[in-house]
Amino acid sequence: MSEKYGDRQVIKRATQTVIQTQCAWGVLERSEGGKRLARRNPVVVGDEQHAIWLIEAALHCLGKALSVPRLSSLPVLYPFVLDQPLGYLVSKSSNLETMLEGAGGQFVRLLPTLPNI
């Protein structure tokens, strides 16, 4: 991080805090006396409702439509992995809409919500 943002003490502390949090969550693991970090296995989301909720949350976070195949590689889903067919999951949600664009390009977006008056 210091190569990109300069040699600032705040950057070093912030980086260590993020790493400590990732270790506490069980996503990273320290080895060799705490000098090396290893990524642990991702958390597989097998429950259909949890997977749909994660997809909806990711789309809400990004604020735009995405191609269905791209959903599985979104950084905002880290450290989770969706092990079910994404097209099937998207079709099961009442909050998501699928659109076809071009030859076989399936996109998904959140349905617009009406403001409470």
Q: Is 16 exposed, middle or buried (0-12, 13-18, 19+ CB in 10 A)?
A: exposed
The gap between the terminal CA atoms of the chain, to the nearest Å, is 46
User: 50 and 30, same structural domain?
Assistant: no
User: 66 and 16, same structural domain?
Assistant: no
User: 87 and 32, same structural domain?
Assistant: no
Per-residue model confidence (pLDDT) at position 71: 87
User: 97 and 55, same structural domain?
Assistant: yes
pLDDT tens-digit readout, 79-114: 889 888 888 889 899 999 988 887 768 899 998 876
User: 105 and 74, same structural domain?
Assistant: yes
User: 72 and 35, same structural domain?
Assistant: no
Per-residue model confidence (pLDDT) at position 5: 67
Q: What is the mean pLDDT of the chain?
A: 85
- Looking at per-residue pLDDT, the higher value among 3 and 46 belongs to 46
Q: What is the pTM of this model?
A: 0.72
User: 23 and 76, same structural domain?
Assistant: no
User: 99 and 60, same structural domain?
Assistant: yes
